[in-house]
Amino acid sequence: MKDCTIIGGGPAGLNATLVLGRARRSVVMVDSNEARNKITHEAHGFVTRDGVKPNEFRELAHQEFKKYNTIETMEDKVMEIIKEADSFTIKTDKGMEWKTRKVVLATGVTEKFPNVPNFRNYYGKSIFNCPYCDAWELRDQPLALFGVVEYTIHMAEILRNWSKDLVIFTNGDKVTKSQLKHLSNMQVRVETSPVKLLTGNDGLLQGVELEDGLVIERTGGFVTPELVQATDLGTAMGLKLDDTGGHKCDEAGKTKIHGFFVAGEAASVYPSQIIIAAASGATVAMAVNVELTHEGILGSDKHV
């Protein structure tokens, strides 16, 4: 039996794996290799790793794991988690099955984007969702903002630190008079006509074409997508989601199911940064180790 199974190989899952492996816990990390930041050229805001490519970040972590015989990783997808008296049974897409004392769900979230036909061609290259991650590279440029109007207005407020040339494209959604007044005071332009197409080359935005024929030049942009849990593994076990879309848990990632923890965006959807997710993974791993210790189960590197 494994001490802990970590589901998800993003920053939260990777850091949880490292901390538990170093705590002499037998840990297996299952990664379906479907990370949402795979399309991003660079990740920012992580000290000593500013500008790192997401795939390189993951590869560096897996290289570090090789030092620890307590850590096992596999590329697979968990399909079912069965709760038993004092353990869980894990079943995967490739037919693997094993028992584990604890589970850490770190599968993150997935995005729902505005209904623009070629939007994904630009996402991760010149359109992003986190100003703290990517706005520096787009500073002082003419930027487009997409997404739910209420959240996009908040994004505009923040983005004015990097650029004051902002246009919100509501893609047909209405804007209230109070919202228009607020945006006017910020000198942020609003276009409510539906977006027909984004124009540019190789993922680099050049303009936004509207259904009414108007084309507005832009060289980059940001979106406030709806973020939803990437899997239903947690809710299938009876966990509820909070108002932000994360699984309900305490500050250490413990859920109402004994032995079941959530980390990263599986626990808290906002804010979304790799350094925050990694920190969450470390916090949850420590809580898992403490719980195992209190249950009389000590770590060992002899059993892997």
Q: pLDDT of 220-267, one tens digit each? A: 999 998 889 999 999 999 999 998 899 999 999 999 999 999 999 999
User: Strand, helix or coil at 108?
Assistant: coil
In whole angstroms, what separates CA 190 from the centre of its chain?
28
The pLDDT, as a whole number, for residue 117 is 87
Cα separations in angstroms, 34 against 37, 55, 109: 9, 11, 11
Q: pLDDT of 93-104, one tens digit each? A: 999 999 999 999
Looking at the chain, the whole-number percentage of residues with pLDDT higher than 70 is 97
Q: pLDDT of 179-226, one tens digit each? A: 999 999 999 999 999 999 999 999 999 999 999 999 999 999 999 988
The pLDDT, as a whole number, for residue 52 is 82
Mean pLDDT of 148-172: 94
The pLDDT, as a whole number, for residue 44 is 78
Q: pLDDT-based confidence at 303, cuts 50/70/90?
A: low
| Residue 38, token pair as written in the block | 């795979």
Q: pLDDT-based confidence at 53, cuts 50/70/90?
A: confident
CA distance 231 to 108: 8
Q: Which amino acid belongs to residue 165?
A: D
